[in-house]
């Protein structure tokens, strides 16, 4: 849905994070319109916004308390004109990412067709969110074709400790990539070569399921979330989320056990419900944000067995352990 996407203290926005009921997980308290896929989340003022693939042209959900969610329409009324030529046959917009940069909101988004790496990432901006949002499409950011070894979908914006701007992306093919951005335009300069930050080793002739990068700067480290295995199969989805960390935004990213994310390693961060429950399957495409009180959250989707496998919004606080590693309290 989708960088370290929120810095409320820097924005001077009012309000503290809502209190959670003691003894209950946040996920158990979610209600309202929870149908999302590939969600990302941000807060403006007293309202939380989730942007996701659900809704043909980037759907929006809103909440005042992180618990009760309502539909708030879509970002676009139709496909941006440039997308039809860039990716023939595309009919929808996927996997957004939202951030607040230099006084405006940046929404990165993906256009593709399923199973193809003729894909593109676009950018739209608005000075505000909500009913007064005025999204202006800025066009193509980066593109992949069959000649490339990556797939330009699932964007995530991040700023490093030196203030440099980056865009991570990728799904299948040779894995996850990281491109430097022009800070003025938010776009990849032509001819720029990406860094490789994660991949999985595929069996001969087989796929290499890794996608949905999201980089979290925290405590002098960069934490890379990535989804392994398969989404989009309802309750038969095998998606799960791993995390690795690095001292440089460009990697190398290692799991807690030292396993390399460039070799399919990492530490499990989100997994499906235990076998005796089996309700929420395939948790993945995770994003993160930090609220005004300093609480970090992870937002993701999972497929609800009690709702015919509908992709469903999930939100969990992140606990940062003494050794620096994150644990999702879901």
Of 38, 97, 154, 304, catalytic: 38
Contacts of 288 (CB under 8 A, 6+ apart): 4, 5, 214, 216, 225, 296, 297, 298, 299, 318
Of 154, 211, 291, 304, catalytic: 211
Residue 168 near residue 213 (C-beta atoms within 8 A): yes
Give catalytic status of residue 38 as yes or no: yes
Give catalytic status of residue 323 as yes or no: no
Active site residues: 38, 211
């Amino acid at each position: 849905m989708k960088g370290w996407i929120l810095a409320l203290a820097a924005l001077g926005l009012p309000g503290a994070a809502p209190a959670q009921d003691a003894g209950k997980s946040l996920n158990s308290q979610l209600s309202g319109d929870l149908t999302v896929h590939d969600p990302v989340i941000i807060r403006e003022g007293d309202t939380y916004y989730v942007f996701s693939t659900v809704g043909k042209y980037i759907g929006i959900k809103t909440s005042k308390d992180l618990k009760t969610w309502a539909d708030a329409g879509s970002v676009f009324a139709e496909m941006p004109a440039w997308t039809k030529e860039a990716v023939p046959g595309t009919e929808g917009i996927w996997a957004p990412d939202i951030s607040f940069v230099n006084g405006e909101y940046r929404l990165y988004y993906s256009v593709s067709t399923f199973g193809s790496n003729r894909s593109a990432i676009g950018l739209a901006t608005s000075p505000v969110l909500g009913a007064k949002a005025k999204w202006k499409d800025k066009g193509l950011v980066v593109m992949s074709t069959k000649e490339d070894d990556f797939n330009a979908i699932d964007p995530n914006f991040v700023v490093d400790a030196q203030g440099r701007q980056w865009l991570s992306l990728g799904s299948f093919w040779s894995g996850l990539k990281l491109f430097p951005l022009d800070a003025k335009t938010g776009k990849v300069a032509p001819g720029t070569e990406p860094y490789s930050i994660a991949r999985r080793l595929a069996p001969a002739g087989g796929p290499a399921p890794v996608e949905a990068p999201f980089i979290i700067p925290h405590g002098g480290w960069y934490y890379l979330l990535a989804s392994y295995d398969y989404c989009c199969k309802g309750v038969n989805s095998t998606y799960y989320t791993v995390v690795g960390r690095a001292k440089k935004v460009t990697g190398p990213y290692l799991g807690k056990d030292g396993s390399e994310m460039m070799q399919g390693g990492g530490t499990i961060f989100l997994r499906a419900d235990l076998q005796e429950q089996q309700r929420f399957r395939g948790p993945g495409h995770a994003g993160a944000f930090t609220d005004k009180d300093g609480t970090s959250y992870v937002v993701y989707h999972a497929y609800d067995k009690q709702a015919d496998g509908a992709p469903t919004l999930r939100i969990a606080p992140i606990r940062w352990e003494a050794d620096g590693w994150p644990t999702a309290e879901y």
